């Protein structure tokens, strides 16, 4: 069993606890133990803190990294925004002595020191890596195939870019999450502008909601055009934007979609036999019932 310090982030435990529980339960079945990262704070959010005060962004992220260093475990996480902050700060501090020294001066005030002894992983990439889990092992874990469903995959911005600091292949036409979806028995559909932002990133949702929803609306239209039954993503903030965003789109633009939205780990949980109640699907803003009727 491979062990990782599980960085929860803010949105999953507070808005989509099913993504949290599904991550822990499904990972354990696949040979990954996600251990609590006790004392962790916000990542902090890259679009907010990173755009306002880089010194705070570095120091807060470094503190989270030190907590995992004290556990002697790499970090695994399930949010693209958290990935950007935690992964990039870890990368920058390891390769910039001056920056690392400055951050450690701040951490010294709370008796901490960043040493650069661990790595940071998105859980999705651990699931895809055949040396850790891999598509075939996921396929073998399926008890309830999602046969007959069409899934639109949303990658999100921070997962794949900037390319020079990532290690997941093509940033323009990736298909590795589609492979993870297809391992569950579903059909992953291609759609126009797949790599476009969900609309929430960079703080846009916070300061210009109408523009943010306009981007989401376009993505949903493109998904519906190819017959998607649901959206899947690997980021709770993107999940919030597609899920709660549909309610807001109807309120502001009068357009109603009713497109179910799932974090990939929720889909994996369904396919492994977890119940909708175990996954907290009733907490989603958009009903998942139409999708569930096709697979359960």
What is the residue extent of each domain of the chain? 2-122, 144-295
pLDDT at 101 over 90: yes
What is the mean pLDDT of the segment spanning 207-212? 85
pLDDT at 206 over 90: no
Separation in Å, CA 120 to CA 62, 111, 173, 188, 229: 12, 22, 24, 27, 33
Q: What is the pLDDT of residue 226?
A: 98
- DSSP class of residue 147 equals T
pLDDT at 239 over 80: yes
Q: What is the pLDDT of residue 50?
A: 60
* pLDDT, tens only, 164-196: 677 777 777 899 999 999 999 999 999 999 999
> For residue 22, which of 237, 254, 236, 259 has the smallest C-alpha distance?
236
Q: At a CB cut-off of 8 Å and minimum separation 6, what does 143 contact?
A: 271, 272, 273
Between residues 72 and 52, which one has the greater pLDDT? 72
Count helices and strands (H / E) in the chain. 15, 8
Sole residue written with tokens 């696949």: 30
Residue 163's pLDDT band, with cuts at 50, 70 and 90, is low
State the chain's mean pLDDT as an integer: 93
DSSP SS3 for 293: helix
The fold of 2-122 is Glutathione S-transferase Yfyf (Class Pi); Chain A, domain 2 (1.20.1050)
Taking the C-alpha atoms of residue 255 and residue 259, their distance in angstroms, rounded to an integer, is: 12
- At the second CATH level, the architecture of 144-295 is 3-Layer(aba) Sandwich (3.40)
Per-residue b or e along 261-289, where b marks 16 or more CB atoms closer than 10 Å to that residue's CB: bbbbbbbbbbbbebebeebbbeebebebe
Specify the pTM: 0.94
């Amino acid at each position: 069993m491979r062990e990782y310090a599980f960085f929860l982030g803010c949105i999953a435990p507070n808005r989509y606890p099913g993504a949290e529980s599904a991550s822990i339960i499904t990972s354990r079945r696949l040979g990954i133990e996600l251990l609590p990262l006790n004392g962790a704070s916000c990542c902090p959010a890259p679009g907010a803190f990173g755009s306002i005060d880089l010194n705070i962004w570095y120091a807060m992220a470094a503190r989270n990294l030190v907590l995992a260093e004290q556990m002697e475990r790499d970090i695994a996480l399930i949010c693209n925004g958290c990935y950007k902050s935690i992964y990039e700060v870890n990368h920058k501090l390891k390769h910039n002595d001056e920056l690392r020294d400055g951050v450690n001066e701040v951490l010294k005030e709370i008796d901490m020191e960043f040493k650069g002894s661990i790595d940071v992983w998105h859980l999705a990439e651990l699931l895809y890596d055949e040396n850790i889990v891999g598509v075939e092992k996921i396929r073998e874990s399926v008890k309830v195939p999602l046969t007959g469903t069409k899934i639109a995959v949303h990658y999100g911005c921070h997962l794949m870019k900037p390319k020079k600091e990532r290690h997941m292949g093509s940033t323009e036409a990736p298909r590795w999450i589609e492979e993870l979806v297809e391992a569950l028995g579903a059909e992953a559909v291609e759609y126009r502008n797949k790599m476009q932002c969900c609309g929430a990133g960079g703080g846009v949702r916070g300061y210009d909601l109408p523009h943010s929803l306009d981007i989401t609306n376009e993505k949903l239209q493109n998904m519906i055009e190819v017959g998607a039954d649901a959206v899947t993503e690997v980021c709770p903030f993107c999940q919030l934007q597609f899920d709660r965003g549909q309610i807001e789109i109807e309120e502001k633009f009068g357009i109603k979609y009713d497109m179910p939205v799932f974090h990939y780990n929720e889909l994996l949980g369904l396919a492994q036999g977890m119940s909708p109640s175990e996954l907290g699907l009733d907490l989603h803003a958009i009903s998942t019932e139409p999708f569930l009727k096709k697979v359960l």
